[in-house]
Amino acid sequence: MARKELEEARTRLYQKADRTRMILGVGGALFVVMLIIGILNGIDSINTTGRPGELPIRRAITWVTIAVMCLIGPYGFYTASKQRLVKQIERRLPDFLRDVAEAGRFGMILAEAIVVSSSGRYGKLTPEIKKMAAQISWGVPATEALRLFAIRVKTPMTERVVSIIVKSSDAGGDVADVLTMVSHATKETQLTEEERKISMSTYVAVIYISFLVFIVTIWIMNVTFLPKMVEAGTSLTSGGVGGASAVESPLAKDIVGVVNTIQLAFITAMLVHAAGDGILAGVLDNGKIATGLRHSFIMLFICVLSFMAM
């Protein structure tokens, strides 16, 4: 029975991994489609924005940005969702360990204490604890049921806790005292992580604020300063050159070209700012780059909206 449950748990783990690959596959397919649209805009084969006079390279950058968003967005949000579920499971683990330890102090062995404690409410952890209690009721040893529990839940904290409990049970020590110490240590670790997360959230907020200030600064320069440069260049050539109009004169064309180059530099800076700040926010949040992909998606989305307004 234990071997069958182990195989079923492993199958579920593989299914979760397949779900991750599926999300990456869908994101990769959308990335390719959007990238092709961006290339077609870049070579001026199509014009998806419909804006007359807009540079093809600018349309291409917009669609390439959307392609990157399609690639990193689903995976980033899915990873954040999994990490949030892990935190919800781990948050109730010390409560379960405390209840098992209390039951053990009344003279119950580890298996009986787990079965008795399974009647409690532990949030997202409750279904897995009930499965573990059911396995013990079917005759599976408590240590083996704990190993299967660790495989199903598959979180770093759960694996460490189960490893300590199994070794203590195999050594024949007082499991109740071990469970109490592990429960306290786990709770202290969670409190430390929550304090760090609260302190780091301030820095994440600063990153978002600085990014928004940068976007607003770029937008103001684009809608006020750069048009004035074009107007100034046009006024200098108002007399025309060789019968040409002011707009068609070489100097006016040079000024327009410089303005377009500056706009492309602004757009590139916004994209680099968004990608880098998003990854940095994820690292500050929980030390993982994958979480930063969600922040990068949000900031790139703000960039795309800014492109449309510029």
- Each residue of 56-87: pLDDT tens digit? 888 888 899 999 999 999 998 988 888 888 88
User: Residue 60 and residue 308: Cα distance in Å, rounded?
Assistant: 13
Distance CA 51, CA 67 (A): 21
Residue 1 has pLDDT above 50, yes or no: no
Q: Rounded to a whole number, what is the distance in angstroms from the first to the last CA of the chain?
A: 65
In angstroms, the CA 118 to CA 100 distance is: 9
Strongest mean pLDDT among 23-32, 151-160, 162-171, 190-199: 23-32
Is pTM beyond 0.85? Reply is no
Q: CA torsion, points 108, 114, 120, 125, in degrees to nearest 10? A: 160
Of 270, 264, 296, nearest in space to 59 by CA: 264
**Domains of the chain by residue range:** 193-309
What are phi and psi for residue 240, nearest 5 degrees? 80, 160
Q: Pull the structure tokens for residue 76.
A: 């980033």
The greatest distance separating any two alpha carbons of the chain, rounded to the nearest whole angstrom, comes to 105
Dihedral angle sign, alpha carbons of residues 135, 141, 146, 149: negative
Give the model's pLDDT for residue 251.
60
- Both tokens of 69, joined, read 């968003």
Q: Check if the beta carbon of residue 33 is closer than 8 Å to that of residue 71.
A: no
Closest CA to 142 of 161, 121, 122, 165: 165
Task: For 29-51, write each residue's pLDDT tens digit.
Answer: 999 999 999 898 888 888 777 66
Region of 266 on the Ramachandran plot (φ > 0 left; ψ -120 to 50 alpha; else beta): alpha
Q: What is the DSSP string of 184-206?
A: HHHHHHHHHHHHHHHHHHHHHHH
Q: What is the pLDDT of residues 122-136, one digit of tens each?
A: 888 888 888 888 888
- Please tell me the predicted confidence (pLDDT) of residue 2: 47
Residue 188 has pLDDT above 60, yes or no: yes
18: confidence class by pLDDT, cuts 50, 70, 90? low
